[in-house]
Amino acid sequence: MNLVVNGILLHYRETGKPGAPVVLMLHGWGATSASLDSLAAALAPSFRIVQLDLPGFGGSEIPPPSWHVADYAQCLAQFIAKAKLPNPHAVIGHSFGGRVAMKALGTGLISPRRLVLIGAPAIARHRTFRNQLYQAAAKTGKAVTALPGLGRLRHQLRQRLYASAGAGDYLNAGSMREIFLHAVHEDLRPVAAKISAPTLLIWGQRDTDAPLADAHALAAEIPNSHLEIIAGAGHYAFLDAPEAVAQLIKDFLA
């Protein structure tokens, strides 16, 4: 299904139990709503599931490059109103989808009864050691690829340098690189502190995209929150340990 919100075409899917409480699911950066299909299927017997392709991903149109997380949050609120999903029972946000959910709840744009955040980074990336490596790689890349005779190898060298610094999402962002930088440079802890809805934090023990430091930071900021760490799981904890994650969410939403 499609809706036009503020001039942007949004694609979304509905599954689950008609007339049941609504659970809205938001995917991570570089993914689509389909990445959450297995979790949606586990919740479908008890809930009406709405999976949204965030602007720029899947079947939804790319937003202007000036967009920040706040613009995504505003778009989400408008989508909920236009799709007639007032006060969803819960919003589940993975990674970037969690960023958008935090911004929307923390600024009072939406008011679901429950919030589930899965591997949702909150600390500004420019403050982390990983991003310092990226910054160093970027500077080194410009210097190295400017050397005489390396013109033909410039693109490959930059790709390898950025990849070595863990900047894969930035590399793959294409026309949305500016939006990506806006997102990762925003510290969401002040907004998270204003979230009043009961919140379940689910984190993979081996998550390198959203380190456990982010999980503990959010648990400290969100007043009514509870953190569950999934042993051996990575950034996609709901795929690494689908039954465990689904059961945690079912119990929380009951």
For residue range 12-36, what is the model confidence (pLDDT) as tens digits?
Answer: 999 999 999 999 999 999 999 999 9
Q: Give the residues of the chain that fall short of pLDDT 70.
A: 125-174
Residues 23, 77, single domain; the answer is yes
Task: In whole angstroms, give the CA distance from residue 36 to residue 54.
Answer: 13
Strands 199-204, 90-94: pairing kind: unpaired
* pLDDT for 86: 79
Q: How far apart are CA 107 and CA 128, in angstroms?
A: 25
Neighbours of 34 (CB within 10 A): 13
Q: Which pLDDT score, from 0 to 100, does residue 166 have?
A: 46
The CATH number covering residue 94 comes to 3.40.50.1820
Contact, 39 vs 31, CB < 8 A? no
Question: Of the residues 175, 194, 213, which one is the last residue of a structural domain?
Answer: 175
Task: Indicate whether 45 and 71 sit together in one domain.
Answer: yes
Assess whether 144 and 117 both reside in one domain. Answer: no
Picking from 71, 74, 188, the residue whose alpha carbon sits closest to that of residue 124 is 188
β-strands 8-16, 22-26 pairing? unpaired
Are 23 and 137 part of one and the same domain? no
CB atoms within 10 A of CB 212: 16
d(CA 163, CA 137): 9
Comparing CA positions, the residue from 174, 8, 170, 176 lying closest to residue 76 is 8
**In 3D, which of 238, 117, 93, 121 has the Cα closest to residue 188?**
121
pLDDT at 24: 98
Is the domain of 25 the same as that of 111?
yes
Contact yes or no for 48/18 (Cβ under 8 A) = yes
Report yes or no: 84 and 42 within 8 Å, Cβ to Cβ: no
Residue 217 is predicted with a pLDDT of 94
- Expressed as residue numbers, the domain containing 31 is 2-124+186-253
pLDDT digits (tens, 9 = 90+) for 207-251: 999 999 999 999 999 999 999 999 999 999 999 999 999 999 999
Question: 9 pairs with which residues across the strands?
Answer: 4
Count of domains in the chain?
A: 2
- Same domain flag for 111 and 167: no
The pTM for the full model equals: 0.85
Q: CA 83 to CA 93: how far, in whole Å?
A: 18
